[in-house]
Structure 1
Amino acid sequence: MKLRIYILTIIGLLFSGLLKAQFPSTTQEGGSAFPTNGFPTENQKDKDAKKAANSNGRIGLDDSTKVVYGPTSTRYFLEEDVVNNRKRLYNIDTIIDGIHNYNFVQRNKNLYQDLGNLGTAIRPVFYKAPEQIGTLLGYDAYTLYTFKPNQVRYYNTKSPFTNIIYVPGGGEQDLLQFELSRNIDSLWNVGLNVQRITANKTLIDQTSTGDNSSIGHWDFMVHSNYQTKNKKYSLLAYLNLSDHNSNDQGGVVVETGRDYQGMLALADNRPILTVASTRDNSYNLHVYHEYVGYKAFQIFQNIDYQTRRVRFGDKGFSAAWQTGFYPYAFKANSETAYRYSADTSVTNHVVLDSLYNESKYTNFEVKTGIKGFYKGFNYRMHLRTRIYNYTNPLKPAYNISNKNENFLGLWLNQYFKDSTRVFGEVEFSTDLQNLRINGEFQGKWLNVGGSFISTPATLVQQRTYNNGFRWTGELDNVKTTNVYAYTNLKFKQLVLRPSADITKIASYAYFDTLAYVQQSKKDIEIYRVGLGFDFRKGHFSTTNQIYYTTTGDEDKLMRIPKLFANSRVAFDLLYRKKLFIQTGLEFHYKSSYYADAYMPAIQQFHLQDKQLIEGYLQADAFADMRINRVRIFVKFAHVNKGLLGNGYYASPGFAGMGRVLAFGVHWLLFD
């Protein structure tokens, strides 16, 4: 704790000093402003400031009235554009479209399933293959809430830039996001990002008088980018500290004589778990740097270091085991498993009162390679080396020390004069045990692509040890093959977006109805077709997306709703030529399916057959507004509650958020 206070103090002093000075950037006022190495170039207005340049080429402030600070003077770029030699700068987002979607499910177009509250455990609704090969930890229920390398915005600012988002989301949910960026001089920028997520419990234990908080999440990130005067060397880096705390509830206790739908009508519901909690904290250091000798030959390197500690504790384990929430129990220093049963001869066994699970993981990864481009052709080759350690304090025999994995990769991209594009990439381990292939053709009317990945099961799937879950053993690689096609068709004010997607999974690793790891011997096939359609005329607009999914899954291991739909209707208004307003309704529907349940002891979603998540249409009313650089929204979530039923379940045992009124503020400051 003292270390965190010390770090925050140092950073605060740094940025308080930065705010006392002003330095210009070399970002262009408009158009594409990236040179060949992906950094902003100097604009014509700033050339006059060269007279004030120091001998090292760094420029002081020309604080004249010609400089206008705002969204056009402050732009950002992403690391992936620098890596791929794309000349791209992004404007600061000032539009009001969709700003009311503050929670992580709706901002991701409802493609995720959480536990009905902001910051709770979350997973994709549709199957999602791993994004990289190699042995990963596998505790991913909260990783969506942390910063990722491809999400970090690197700025080159003309003035201090601040972005503040505050949302008292209703239903005792709060979201705060703070972003500050500041150029030290024309070559070096430093930024700070802070994210805070809090939420209170939705299930209340009437016997408890303690803390009612459910979620407490912190993200603290410092990032920086630097470029030499001759634009030969560039550096991007960030340090992220993430700490997620959750008071886990396990779901609702179903009273005698009631079913899950009947529980929705009750004002107060009791949770299964009352003294269980999770803490997941990590530290990530990421560095990317490159040297541009020639356009066709550049050297680049990625350096990543991550340390992570995941803990879960339940001091009421014995009582929860008696209810059947935990399927098995182990006595201390015993490998004998006791399955929960109504038979008293089983429950008379001595079961430990508490359950504790802990995993420590460190990963050091270096990716070094060459890249370049000539006219429309780009290439990239790399060697990636990673060394990881895994520690289970409860079972030292499961520990892994300094495990080394090496990979080789090749990426090719070709742009044609008619704006079509073809790219392909391949990466494989040097022992030929892991493989990833990806490719796509992007045409004027049709985009077609495919991928294949063969990668090991996660560490949590390979080895777990605590009072209720124990297994170890090598699993086969999970192999995923995917082919897809999509297009955009424009007919005046109407835009159609048909798509088709086929996925085949071999040796699928999953968690069964007892939350124990298993591996399928049969292949699983998933077929999905989609249709998006947008229409705009005058002040009216509507955006819609529908997916229909079916599986060739005889064992029903992949639980996906057959019908998935999003829809929005909106009207744009202008009040007194200053206040922009967009108001309307948003709808979301998923058909009935046996959604996966959540087991907090191992931070995994698993199969369940007890509760059918009924199909339900949810409607939200919203009004998004902007005046100058301040955006405000008001949202009446689940406005149709009581019209089509008492509500719905977001996950087994966890009801979705009820009717609540939320509002939020997005505030951009450029000086």
Structure 2
Amino acid sequence: MRSFILICCLLAAVQCVHAQIGQRFGNMGGGGGASMQKDTGKHTHEPDTITISYRRLGEPTDYRLDSSLADFTDSYLRVPATYMFLGNTGAPARNLLFTPFMKPGFDAGYHTFDVYGFNHENARIYTTTKPYSELRYLVGSQQEQHIGVLHTQNRTDRFNFGFEYNKKYAPGFFRSQATNHDIYRVTGRFNSKNKRYNAYLSYFYNKFNNGENGGIRGGDSILDNPTYSQRKTVDVNLGNYSATSSGLFTTTLPVKTTNKQSGFMFVQQYDWGKGDTIHVNDTTDYYKFDPFFRVQYTFKVDNDGLEYLDGQPDTFFYANKYNWGFNGDTIRARHEWRNISNDISLIQFPIRGNQGHFISAGARYESIRGTFLDANISFSNLVLHGEYRNKTRNQKWDLQAKGEFYLTGQNAGDYNITGMLSRYLNETLGNVHLLFSNTNREASYIYKYFSSTYDSWYNNSLGKENTTLLQFSADNRKLKYNLAVNYYLMENYTYFSNYYTSAQAPALFNLLQVVLNKHFKYKKYNWYAEFAFQQVHGDGRINVPAFWTRHRLAYETKLFNNLNLMTGIEAKYNTSYYADDYSPVIGQFVYQTTQRIKYYAPDLAAFVHFRIKSLSAFIRGENLNTFFATNNFAGPAYPYNNFTFRLGLRWWFIN
């Protein structure tokens, strides 16, 4: 009832402002892939238009906001379709297309919620000519609700700030599996009047609350028993007999994992170069400054913590999975990490006016501290790094060579070297991309040590992981396809062999991965086809489906001059494989070869997506396959939800 009232209020607010803002977004019309205007660099604009773009930190590329209707999963939920999650929305997730962790240096190892959260790498530094706001609200079956708020504005040409908040709440269909996430981000950009000094701010805070039920009891066949048509009656391994109280803002879970991540980064730059005053018109002059040398200082503080709590533990589950003999007292585990780093870099720009062409060299000092239930640890690292980048002004060539090396400290000997070459050939052949990357790194700390109130385990025998990636990719807008071929070569790959024991692959192995996306169009009928093939050679100790595919068959049209409509069906499928199990206490996926997971039928969804000027709506019926087949499983004992209805709204405001 509360959800219905909230939707009505939101729709009423949209109707009140719709007449005022509708004309301002006229330039966003067109097909499902329309986006904002590109920033031209000028500072005079018509009153009914907006120029907005953003950049990633350290990346000299302008990006536009995505107003597409085509991919609900990626553009609205912001979770790639290739990700699987443990049945319920917001639950621990991993990519079905194998993506090894290839960052050298210290890593705590908590990544099962990364796809939902913010970080410094995906921070958006905006530039906009007018204040811009975006609101998102989704309501679904079982009281699922998502709320999203985005606001950014330039106070002057010299200062911009952005704020974003996401709320993800999903009680789920099964016992003790509710998720309730709060995700925040603040960004800022400032440059001095003479444009010699620049500063950038990135702050994020992710709080992930996940109910742990250890999977269902009774096997796959229990879901076909009409006695359990109401899924809350199916017995689960954890929290089975405990009361669960969940709501949008308050959730009480009998067994839960809490993962808190936060980060603060402040970048300061001072440039030497040459400035010119550009005459725009009779009343407007624009000062342009081109740097040729820059000193950059970066201060960063990152925190990452995991806590597991079970107040009424199930003796059989823990004895069976963790080999614990205990008296049923509360089980608790808590690991907290803080990493403080200071970085100084020197940057040279060889060609005036092209900040995409630079040479940089620098050093970073890291101070890391870990806090556990019964112990603390601290250590440090000294890192050297450098980069050469040449992104030509005609946008045809992009060349990059970069590397970092851990000179001394806990992670001494870790390194990464990367080389990339990209070339735009022509409209017919599109863009081709070549990449080489090699990373040598210590295994994440979760594989070396973990403690709880019942037990602690250590593994001091792990060698450094070494991973090489060779990639070829092609992007062709005219023929509407994307192709990527990835070849991984891995040594000392680290994994969990059971619920609490880590190990490394016994030998060098490789993995071939081919991913193809193709858009077919006939009049107003569209077919979005996605294919992925993966093959492991050697004793890899990784679980991946050999074949994954997704298809969207849609009818797209424009009605009444301002209604963009997309309606159709979506199907997703992957071949059977030994899907990873999941260890709740340590919050990690676990390698297993005893139970194959298969799709009883493709995941099916029917949808109607439309946009009227500044308002977009996504109406979807998902998991239609559960009407005629058993629920598909994400992993052993973790079924996906039943049929789900979802209504998602997104609208934009120019203030």
With the shorter chain as reference, the TM-score category is 0.7 to 0.9
Flag the 1:664–1:234 CA change in 2: closer, same or farther, 3 A: same
Residue in 2 that maps onto 1:460: 446
Flag the 1:284–1:421 CA change in 2: closer, same or farther, 3 A: closer
Q: 2:626 is paired with a residue of what secondary structure?
A: coil
Flag the 1:570–1:279 CA change in 2: closer, same or farther, 3 A: same
1:614-629 map, 5 Å: 614-615=598-599, 616-629=601-614
Distance (whole Å) between structure 1 residues aligned to residue 515 and residue 261 of structure 2: 37
TM superposition shift of 1:409? 1.3
Structure 1 window deviating more from structure 2 (367-376 vs 509-518): it is 367-376
Distance (whole Å) between structure 2 residues aligned to residue 661 and residue 191 of structure 1: 32
Contact kept? 1:265, 1:646, Cα under 8 Å: no
Q: 2:641 is paired with a residue of what secondary structure?
A: coil
Flag the 1:263–1:132 CA change in 2: closer, same or farther, 3 A: farther
Flag the 1:265–1:410 CA change in 2: closer, same or farther, 3 A: farther
Contact kept? 2:389, 2:398, Cα under 8 Å: yes
Flag the 1:192–1:585 CA change in 2: closer, same or farther, 3 A: same
Is residue 638 of structure 2 the alignment partner of residue 654 of structure 1? yes
Q: Of the candidates 217, 220, 244, which is equivalent to residue 184 of structure 2?
A: 220
Q: Of the candidates 302, 307, 317, which is equivalent to residue 306 of structure 1?
A: 302
Contact kept? 1:100, 1:624, Cα under 8 Å: no
1:227-266 map, 5 Å: 227-254=191-218, 259=221, 262=224, 266=228
Q: 1:640 is paired with a residue of what secondary structure?
A: helix
Contact kept? 1:100, 1:622, Cα under 8 Å: no
Distance (whole Å) between structure 2 residues aligned to residue 217 and residue 418 of structure 1: 39
Is residue 117 of structure 2 the alignment partner of residue 137 of structure 1? no
TM superposition shift of 1:361? 0.8
Q: 1:405 is paired with a residue of what secondary structure?
A: strand
Q: 1:487 is paired with a residue of what secondary structure?
A: strand
Residue in 1 that maps onto 2:285: none
Is residue 375 of structure 2 the alignment partner of residue 412 of structure 1? no
Distance (whole Å) between structure 2 residues aligned to residue 278 and residue 548 of structure 1: 33
Q: Of the candidates 364, 371, 377, which is equivalent to residue 391 of structure 1?
A: 371
Flag the 1:439–1:102 CA change in 2: closer, same or farther, 3 A: closer
Contact kept? 1:214, 1:247, Cα under 8 Å: yes
Distance (whole Å) between structure 2 residues aligned to residue 496 and residue 98 of structure 1: 15
Contact kept? 2:88, 2:178, Cα under 8 Å: no
Flag the 1:265–1:477 CA change in 2: closer, same or farther, 3 A: farther
1:502-651 map, 5 Å: 502-554=487-539, 557-615=541-599, 616-643=601-628, 645-651=629-635
Contact kept? 1:100, 1:664, Cα under 8 Å: no
TM superposition shift of 1:559? 0.6
Distance (whole Å) between structure 2 residues aligned to residue 192 and residue 101 of structure 1: 20
Is residue 638 of structure 2 the alignment partner of residue 665 of structure 1? no
TM-score (norm 2): 0.81
Unaligned runs of 5+ in 2: 1-35, 240-253, 274-290
Provide, for residues 152-177 of structure 1, a one-character-per-residue CA deviation record: whole Å limited to 9, x for no partner: 22333444321101111334321111
What letter is aligned with 2:646? A
Residue in 1 that maps onto 2:470: 483
Distance (whole Å) between structure 1 residues aligned to residue 157 and residue 583 of structure 2: 50
Is residue 43 of structure 2 the alignment partner of residue 43 of structure 1? yes
Q: 2:512 is paired with a residue of what secondary structure?
A: strand
What letter is aligned with 1:462? K
What letter is aligned with 2:458? W
Provide, for residues 500-529 of structure 1, a one-character-per-residue CA deviation record: whole Å limited to 9, x for no partner: 221111111110134411122211211122
Distance (whole Å) between structure 2 residues aligned to residue 535 and residue 144 of structure 1: 29
Structure 1 window deviating more from structure 2 (172-181 vs 145-154): it is 145-154
Equivalent residue pairs, number: 570
Distance (whole Å) between structure 2 residues aligned to residue 78 and residue 668 of structure 1: 20
Structure 1 window deviating more from structure 2 (174-183 vs 591-600): it is 174-183
Identity of aligned residues (%): 17
Q: Of the candidates 418, 430, 444, which is equivalent to residue 407 of structure 2?
A: 430
Contact kept? 1:163, 1:667, Cα under 8 Å: yes
Distance (whole Å) between structure 2 residues aligned to residue 125 and residue 222 of structure 1: 31
Q: 2:396 is paired with a residue of what secondary structure?
A: coil
TM superposition shift of 1:102? 7.0
1:91-106 map, 5 Å: 91-99=64-72
Is residue 84 of structure 2 the alignment partner of residue 113 of structure 1? yes
Distance (whole Å) between structure 2 residues aligned to residue 512 and residue 386 of structure 1: 31
Distance (whole Å) between structure 2 residues aligned to residue 91 and residue 489 of structure 1: 19
Flag the 1:182–1:448 CA change in 2: closer, same or farther, 3 A: closer
1:305-454 map, 5 Å: 305-321=301-317, 324=320, 326-329=321-324, 350-375=326-351, 377-394=357-374, 396=375, 399-401=376-378, 403-415=379-391, 419-431=396-408, 433-443=413-423, 444=425, 446-454=432-440
Provide, for residues 171-216 of structure 1, a one-character-per-residue CA deviation record: whole Å limited to 9, x for no partner: 4321111112233333222332111111104223xxxxxxx77111
TM superposition shift of 1:666? 0.3
Distance (whole Å) between structure 1 residues aligned to residue 103 and residue 226 of structure 2: 41
What letter is aligned with 1:450? F
Distance (whole Å) between structure 2 residues aligned to residue 438 and residue 101 of structure 1: 27
What letter is aligned with 2:181? H
Contact kept? 2:73, 2:81, Cα under 8 Å: no
Flag the 1:171–1:299 CA change in 2: closer, same or farther, 3 A: same
Residue in 2 that maps onto 1:187: 158
Residue in 1 that maps onto 2:264: 285
What letter is aligned with 1:97? A
Q: CA RMSD in A?
A: 2.6
Flag the 1:512–1:259 CA change in 2: closer, same or farther, 3 A: farther
What letter is aligned with 1:364? I
Distance (whole Å) between structure 1 residues aligned to residue 606 and residue 142 of structure 2: 16
Q: 2:317 is paired with a residue of what secondary structure?
A: helix
Unaligned runs of 5+ in 1: 1-28, 34-40, 46-65, 205-211, 330-337, 339-349
